[in-house]
Amino acid sequence: MRKLFVGLSFLFFVFGFSQEKYPQDAFRSPVDIPMVLAGTFGELRSNHFHSGIDIKTQQREGLPIYAVADGSVTRIKVSLWGYGKVLYIAHPNGYTSVYGHLQKFAPKIQEFVKKLQYKKQAYEVEDFPDYAEIKVKKGEIIAYGGNTGGSSGPHLHFEIRSSISEKPTNPLLYGFEVRDATNPTLLKLYGFPLSDDARINQNKNTTAINFTRQQDGTFLADPVSATGTIGLGFVGYDRQDLAANHNGVYSVQQLVNGKVYTDYDFESFSFGETRYINTLIDYYHYGKYRQRIQRLYKAPGNRLSIYNKLENDGKIEVKEGLSYKVELLIKDYAGNETKAIIPIEGKTEPVKIDKDEEKTENYVIAKKPNNYDLGGAKVYFPANTFYDNFYIDLKTGEDTVTIHNNRVPAHRNFTITFDVSKYSEAEKKQMFIARLDSRLRPSHTSTYKRGNTFTTRTRYLGTYTLAKDTVAPKIRPKNFKEKQWLNNYHYLSLRITDDLSGIDTYSATLNGKWILMEYEPKTNTITYNFDDVILDEKECHLEVTVTDNVGNTNTFTSTFYRK
């Protein structure tokens, strides 16, 4: 009996421990101000889910950022885009915390990074320090909040990942406090006829469903008449009490006559699946209106792991003469809930609006490779570039090719190859492949030049052309003048710009020695901190060289004085 008791106790311990999925007291806040979110985990972003939370830093840079627990810095990266300046700290409990868009690192980490930058003579660097090489303690200042990388304003991007799988999880699962008593907001409802015989309110296309708010706070949709296989979708957002930001929701449920048909949440996901966001949303609608409809059914090509339950892939089989009560439950992490009820009647009514079909002479089979020769250009789509089959619209002009439009997402890179044999070698040196936006403005795409062909790899449909850049970048000082005394200056700043292909590289020397200049593309500014190098010479000669993406180069020289 004693052995049985011990065995049962052990099983109870293991089972009880497994239920505590995420430690609640292991981490402190990375900031010393109330945690107010500008972005939530799983929030719908361009081609990806948001992999952390964005913490407001009171609209300013320089806010101290703290290590959330004891650990060791295992990765440091400085880049122009993405997370900008970012730190990764591994903790003994098996988790790694991530801190992005930093203004600068704390002194001991900053010194480590500066040595690396001067050694490699590069601003953009990445390093993976040995475990325990840079130790930090819980509550230690590790950096200062900033706006570096692909940030649109000062904030801290914060993540918690598994140290083994690197899979991110929702940081709010670990006991961080965010004031939130506000229900999510429902903006729009939509119905999708999915089968050939399906229709919604006599319409065979995506249909908006009207709804009104009830006295109890729920939403009631106007009665919907339908038949065939249909799906539903919604547009909505969440908002915390102390912020006006339209953030992502945490969980969504769809019940049909009391049975759960769809249940998904943003507890965790892998980076390898994040681009499948383009199957969760109605991408055609997003491309046309820049608004994301979250589908409540699983569309073709969807390989997301966020679903807890799916009945018939979330699709509703509407039969003649039957009634259906659909309940949509949208929740935030705090448990605040918004509920919508959609009554559906199975009625086969005459179709008033037939299906909009854009048929062309070219039909893409998503699972097979597709190759098109358009005369002056060729387009190659590897197998599984797209999520579903569709009619593709291809057009050519002089040095221009239009590949459908921005309403179909590509999951994999495809290639566009231009024939440039009619151009001289001198002309080809200054040419590149550019993507045109809706206003026909060109932007540089990485162009691989080989003989008489230019090739680019991309995941964006649209219009591409051959462009020519003959103008070198411009360089001008921002905070100093020629032969000026700069005794009390802490930094040196210059503005660098390029009119077409964009800046590829830049470098600077002071009295012939390479110096680190931090580049901020959002303001077109490069900055040198005088603390980096102690100059013995009173007279200082600065030389800055900037090269664009086709090789046009400009050099700026100036002399200034310091005691």
Per-residue confidence (pLDDT) for residue 390, from 0 to 100: 96
pLDDT digits (tens, 9 = 90+) for 195-232: 999 999 999 999 999 999 999 999 999 999 999 999 99
Percent pLDDT > 70 in the chain is 96
Distances (CA, A) of 206 to 24, 190, 292, 341: 44, 7, 14, 19
Distances (CA, A) of 232 to 24, 172, 184, 248, 428: 36, 29, 18, 18, 51
Percent pLDDT > 90 in the chain is 93
What is the C-alpha separation between 62 and 427, in angstroms, rounded? 47
pLDDT digits (tens, 9 = 90+) for 16-37: 333 368 999 999 999 999 999 9
Give the DSSP per-residue string, 528-548: EETTSS----SEEEEEEEEEE
Burial-class residue 540 by CB neighbours within 10 Å (0-12, 13-18, 19+). middle
534 band by pLDDT with thresholds 50, 70 and 90:
low
- Specify the pairing of strand 141-145 against strand 102-105: antiparallel
Per-residue confidence (pLDDT) for residue 7, from 0 to 100: 37
pTM of the complete model = 0.93
395 band by pLDDT with thresholds 50, 70 and 90:
very high
- Specify the pairing of strand 102-105 against strand 71-78: unpaired
